[in-house]
Amino acid sequence: MSGKRVVLLGIGHTNAHVVKKWANDPIPGCELTCISRFPTATYSGMLPGTLGGQFDDAQMRIDLRPLADRAKAELILADTNGLDLERGRVCFADREPIDFDVLSIGVGSMPAGWNDFRDSPLMVPIKPMQTFLVRLENHLERVSGDTNRTINILVVGGGVASVEIAFCLQQHLQNRGSDRSTEIEIFTSSERVAEGMSDRSVRRIERLLRKREIRVRSRCRVTKVGDESVTTQTGASYPADCVIWATGAAAPAVLGRLGLETDERGFIATSQALQSLTDPRVFAVGDSGTVVESPSPKAGVYAVRQAPILWNNLKAFLAGDAVQRFEPQQDFLKLLNTGDGKALMEYGPLSLHSRWAWHLKTWIDKRFIAQYQSSEPNQTSESAVDVEP
């Protein structure tokens, strides 16, 4: 394996684990290169809480430079514009390509449909998460100074992340101390919010939203985002000052430029070993890949659970050994931040909303991200808890 190069394209939950493991136990005869558009990675599980003022911005971020330095890895901050599979190269628009012997792609996803309305002045897509809070605050500052009437903030998307953002946004607005009246509404094309959670949990969430006066407009698919309003599939128009776009996952544009087989949604098609069906040298993890035989929802918990499989398979591939299969878990602990110092916890038939559940979520989140923020290489083992980050 002399002189070989492992390249990580995107440093999300799964690829960050490889960097951490490399710092403690580098693969002999190999060098590691990390490629990212941003100098930090954002932990999605703490983004709503940071919005709500429960955490400082730095607490949810992984600074990639010291993480790479601990692994003695090269860090390249650049946009990738394609692969040269014949030569085994990652290509860029503004720098020379780099060679790879093994490549792991973990560039995440974008909210579905955001690109259709990107030119609207109302739009604040939740991704890239690295810049979401700054973009949102700049937008709120702008609209707060424009008018004395009620500010209408629409959260488009009814998933768990959208609900957390709505709850924590309300807390954020209270923390700002503004005397301006603000209304928050969730627009979802689904029958109910928080799909994937139990009926009991959804009823709790719906009661909490009503209590907090956050309106839910179900079966309302947004088909147009203009300059001052949104329009749904029925033709109804709703005034808006800010549209937070937090829909389900869609493939980022870069995946379509790599020359790899994809699923019908544009994510890289992989085997159960997380290897591209086009080229076994290429792995795709987290939201970026779809295990064709057993696809999983695009959720951070699966990216976290893929991490040790990826680490094992990178080493096995380079050594010519057998690779492991990723078997997605069927159930996991769900913790939803309600922005009021409490969280809704669901595990199996159990569903409760309490301050204790928020402390549990905070402990899990801080424990997870501390593995990557520490100033020294560490031996922290993988969490035994399956939790939605």
Q: At residue 226, what is the residue type?
A: G
pLDDT of residue 173: 92
Q: What is the pTM of this model?
A: 0.92
Return left, alpha or beta for 341; rule: phi > 0 is left, psi -120 to 50 is alpha, else beta: left
pLDDT of residue 375: 58
pLDDT of residue 165: 97
CA nearest neighbour of 249 among 287, 219, 285: 287
Per-residue model confidence as pLDDT tens digits over 260-302 = 999 999 999 999 999 999 999 999 999 999 999 988 888 888 9
pLDDT of residue 382: 40
pLDDT of residue 385: 37
CA dihedral sign, ordered 334, 303, 10, 243: negative
pLDDT of residue 146: 63
Q: What is the mean pLDDT of each run of 10 residues along the chain (389 residues)?
A: 86 95 95 97 95 96 96 96 96 95 97 95 96 96 79 96 96 83 95 93 97 97 97 96 96 96 97 97 97 89 94 97 91 93 94 97 95 62 39
